[in-house]
Amino acid sequence: DVKVTQSSRYLVKRTGEKVFLECVQDMDHENMFWYRQDPGLGLRLIYFSYDVKMKEKGDIPEGYSVSREKKERFSLILESASTNQTSMYLCAILGGANTEAFFGQGTRLTVV
Amino acid sequence: AQSVTQLDSQVPVFEEAPVELRCNYSSSVSVYLFWYVQYPNQGLQLLLKYLSGSTLVKGINGFEAEFNKSQTSFHLRKPSVHISDTAEYFCAVSEGSNYKLTFGKGTLLTVNP
């Protein structure tokens, strides 16, 4: 079974805090993605990585950064959390064109 | 840049009726196309995918989709829906050598008795 594990299911943080969301995979896949899911807006791509230390901005990168030091781990960083970053965050992996994307269980982040 | 448009945000239908969920995309290169389903309070599950070959793709739970390159569409269909098909459906496009994966905003399918 494919495992994509996000470090927390629920998280509550204060405005201005630096927040780390971790995603770990056991499939040795090259491509990893971070999305946020909001009602009526679908899944919006924040950042993705296609190899260790390689990253590309998605559609809404502002206020976020990422880190991929090892192939199995992809971290999303909220530099200074704000209330408009309250959302469900989903990590996904993709092993190339001929595979489906596998998702983590999601982290529901609330910024107060 | 690629984008995905799901033309209907909500689609209500009666049980056993046919349904079509529409998806259009824009991209300057060849793409791979996917439909995902998300049942209430659950994660995303792959319904079907188009990579190449036959433009009619069959997926799980009786769903199928047709890739139309000239119209840049990938509409999802089911000839007869069940109550259990009530869920949110997402169209997604992957393009480029880095396989950037972009999703549409989703279509909420509600099947009524």
A-chain residues near B44 (CB < 8 A): 90, 101, 103
Neighbour count for residue B54 (Cβ, 10 Å): 9
pLDDT digits (tens, 9 = 90+) for A38-77: 998 999 999 999 889 899 999 999 999 999 999 999 999 9
Q: Hey, are the CB atoms on A44 and B103 less than 8 Å from each other? A: yes
Return the pLDDT at A98.
Answer: 62
Instruction: Identify the sign of the CA torsion B20, B25, B31, B34.
Output: negative
Return the pLDDT at A30.
Answer: 87
Please, how many CA atoms are within 13 Å of residue B63, restricted to the half-sphere of its CB? 21
pLDDT digits (tens, 9 = 90+) for B82-95: 999 999 999 999 88
DSSP string of B43-59?
A: -EEEEEEE-SS-SEEE-
Give the model's confidence band at B1: pLDDT under 50 very low, under 70 low, under 90 confident, else very high: low
- Cβ proximity of A78 and A85 under 8 Å: yes
Q: Which residues pair with B78 in a beta bridge?
A: B19
> Could you give the 3-state DSSP secondary structure of residue B17?
coil
Query: Nearest CA of chain B to the CA of A80: how many Å?
Result: 26
Q: Which of residues 26-65 of B touch A (CB under 8 A)?
A: 32, 34, 36, 43-44, 46, 49, 51
Predicted confidence (pLDDT) at residue A97 exceeds the cutoff of 70: no
Query: B84 phi and psi, to 5 degrees?
Result: -70, -10
Predicted confidence (pLDDT) at residue B101 exceeds the cutoff of 90: no
Q: Out of A41, A97, A106, whose CB is closest to B99?
A: A97
Return the pLDDT at B2.
Answer: 73
Q: Which residues pair with A48 in a beta bridge?
A: A33, A56
Pairing type for strands A107-111 and A87-94 reads antiparallel
> Could you give the 3-state DSSP secondary structure of residue B60?
helix
Return the pLDDT at A96.
Answer: 63
B-chain residues near A74 (CB < 8 A): none
SS3 string, chain A, reads CCCEEECCCEEEECCCCCEEEEEEECCCCCEEEEEEEECCCEEEEEEEEEECCEEEECCCCCCEEEEEEECCEEEEEECCCCHHHCEEEEEEEECCCCCCCEECCCEEEEEC
Q: Which residue of B has its CA nearest to A50?
A: B98
Q: What is the largest CA-CA distance in chain B?
A: 45
